[in-house]
Every structure is written in C-alpha cells, then in structure tokens.
Copies of this chain bind each other. A is one copy, B any other.
C-alpha cells in the first residue's frame, strides 16, 4: 500500500464502467469533450499561462508546454477524429468448437488501466485520455510538474464530461506531480495493466529498469538510409535530405547515410547545395570526408566512433561509405535502434534482401523514413513508436490498447 494506492484502486473500479460503455456512447463522450474544450479555451489558456510563467522562454521545453488558440482547436479536432475510429475492443478473433463440443472464442478486450508517464506536454493529457476512453480503458496520468496547472484543469474538464455520462471520474486520474509517485506507479502490478513512458531517453530507461508493470517502450530512432550502387541518385538525394531536415527533432528522422563506395564520388557532391541550404553539419568517415572536402563543403567533421548509432535530433548527419549490401546490413545491425531503415536502389533482389534482413519496426525501399507514423499508416492517432518487439511494434495506436480474452462455454464438460 503506497500513498497513491487508493487512487489506483478507484481507477481500476472505474475501468469496469468504461468497459461497459457502448461504442456509440464513447463517440458521444469524446465529441462532447471536444465541445467542452472549445467552450473553455480562455480558462485553459489562463491555467497554461500559470505554467508558462514558471518557465523561462529560453527553455527548450517552453514551446512544448505552450497551448495556443490554434493548438486547442487541434486538440478538439483530434478528439473528433478519435471519436469515430473503430472500436478495437469486442472484435472476435477466434470462434471455434473444440473437444466435447465446447464453444471457444477469443475476443479483443480493453487492457483495463493504462498508466502513462510523460513530461511537459499538456496535449498528451488529452491525446492519451481520448485513446484510452475510445478503446474502453481507464487511465492514470503522471504528467510533468511544469505542466501541472494545465493538466489539472484539463483533467477537471475531462472528469466533468465523464460525470455527465455517468462514468466514475476516476476513469481518468491525474496523479500528483511528485517524483516519488513514479516509483509507486511502476510497482502497482495489482492495479495497472500497462505503463507507457513518453518522453526523454532517460525517462524511458528509468521505466525500463524499474517497472514491474509491463511496459511499451517508445524509444529513440537511430535511422539509416543506404544508397545502393544502382540507386536513382536524384531520388536518393531527395530522400536523404527530406529524412534529415524536414523535421529534425522527431524519431523517424534520418541520422546516418550509408553510400556505396562506387557511386560516392558522383553522389556526395550532388547533396552539397541542399546540405548547405539547411546548414547540415556532417560527421563523415574518412573516405566520404575526402570527397566532401574536395567538393568544398564547409560544415564537415571527422566522424568519431560514437557519431554512429547517435540520434542527433538536429541538423546533423553521419555519413559512411560501404562496399555493398552486406557491409550496409552489418553496420545497420550494429548501430540501428530498430526504428526505421531505408534502402535506395533499383536492384530488386538487393531491395528484397534488405527488406527481409533488416531487423526494424519499419523498413523502406525508395522512400523517406519520415513516413513512420500512426496517422500515415492509417491507424489514427498514436501514443508513440514502439521499438520493442512484444505486443506492439512501430506506431502504437488505438488498435493495440486491447488484450485478448478466451471465453469457453459448455454444458458441464470436465477434463480428466
């Protein structure tokens, strides 16, 4: 029994009420919540301002913490989108007759209580609550203390809508923003069915190390693009530049380009205008350094060993020349974080081998790694990208907020 146990018990009990809501009722609830958010914009912004006042504008988290008129509109739109997504719970996965005429069904059911630990982004509060409610789950939220005014107000609005729909307000519970709460949550195996850490690598590592509750890791993306000798070099250049610069701070952005030695002399100079335009700092291995140096590229560093396998989250790119597919595969095997990996090639058998042998959540042929996203993949909103292999791999979206349940009905059958 820890100080938060009563809160978790209440959430677990409320989960039964959420499970009982019909799909149509959940749609109504989420649409109503969208209305309520919009109707309380001024108050939301005022509470958010109290959080912002405690943080210097120069803090890199300031922008994530900040809500605006447009961002609240975005949250409402996202709520209405989630409201009409198909309900993953209730699907019949197996239906068969087994020995002695027993009727066996496997159905998808809500997980129960979903715990999410996140940092200074109040929008996560709405995103997580909406996905959990849509899929029939209750949730316990542990947000960052920097966003506590915002989170408390937003959860208050959510709970007012829950009450309107006769759902116990504990179905969406905000935990106190104390550090000690995290440790208590991670050991609450009796009350919490899954924990998802959303945030920095250090948060994820802490959860991985300390959680007794099963977790989904939405980890770092150290992504590679391999430009194979037969690649269409114009397309390859577009894919590499897009992967690196279109949104450098996200996990599906490109960190390392591997280029076949035989085309490097022709290909690397083709990148220079764009690299220069975006002011990309290049960490080059010896051979690519020589080519880029001769071509007059300025933002050039000698790659150090730990520049490979590094998630830059910035206008920075590692480059290494390789002698063919096997060397590319073994580099990726050694340095990839198993998120998104691409090949650019016109040789179908090499493409097939790459797609088959690279061990990652998403593998690409002749396209940018930037497409790895729940929305793009047609799954709706996502909680993150899973780089582990159990339960969910790649975009972790509504469809994975369920577990399975076996239902056996008989007429007195026994098994000796």
Contacts and interface: CB of A to CB of B under 8 A. Distances in A.
B394 A391 contact: no
B415 A214 contact: no
A365 interface: yes
Interface stretch (A71-79, A235-243, A292-300, A314-322): A235-243
B391 A391 contact: yes
Which residue among A238, A365, A413 has the maximum number of chain B CB atoms within 10 Å of its CB? A413
B102 A367 contact: yes
A363 B408 contact: yes
A49 interface: no
Contact of A390 (B194, B371, B413): B194
A376 B173 CA distance: 40
Given A16-B357, A403-B390, A242 B362 contact: no
A359 B412 contact: no
Given A364-B410, A408-B362, A246 B355 contact: no
A96 interface: yes
Interface in A366-401: 366-368, 370-372, 376-378, 388-391, 393-394
Interface in A219-250: 232, 234-235, 238-239, 242-243, 246
B193 A389 contact: yes
Contacts of A362: 405-408
A391 B386 CA distance: 13
Contacts of A59: none
Contacts of A243: 414
What is the oligomeric copy number? Answer: 2
A359 B242 CA distance: 47
A122 to B, nearest CB: 26
Contacts of A16: 357
B214 A408 contact: no
Given A371-B415, A372-B406, A389 B239 contact: no
Given A412-B235, A415-B376, A405 B360 contact: yes
Nearest to A410: B367
Nearest to A404: B393
Which residue among A212, A232, A408 has the maximum number of chain B CB atoms within 10 Å of its CB? A408
A41 interface: no
B389 A111 contact: yes
A411 interface: yes
Given A246-B415, A363-B407, A414-B242, A390 B391 contact: yes
A216 interface: yes
Interface string A318-362: 000000000000000000000000000000000100011101111
A362 B102 CA distance: 13
Interface string A174-197: 000000000000000000011000
Given A363-B407, A394-B406, A408-B371, A212 B216 contact: no
Interface of A: 16, 19, 96, 98-99, 102, 104, 106, 111-112, 193-194, 208-209, 212, 214, 216, 232, 234-235, 238-239, 242-243, 246, 351, 355-357, 359-368, 370-372, 376-378, 388-391, 393-394, 403-416
20 contacts: A99-B371, A102-B371, A106-B394, A194-B389, A214-B388, A214-B389, A234-B412, A239-B414, A246-B414, A355-B407, A361-B404, A364-B409, A366-B411, A366-B413, A367-B410, A367-B414, A368-B414, A371-B408, A372-B406, A390-B390
Per CB-CB distance, the 4 closest pairs between chain A and chain B, nearest first, are A367-B410, A235-B412, A242-B414, A389-B403
Given A239-B414, A394-B406, 9 more contacts: A98-B376, A102-B367, A214-B390, A355-B407, A362-B406, A364-B408, A366-B409, A366-B411, A394-B404
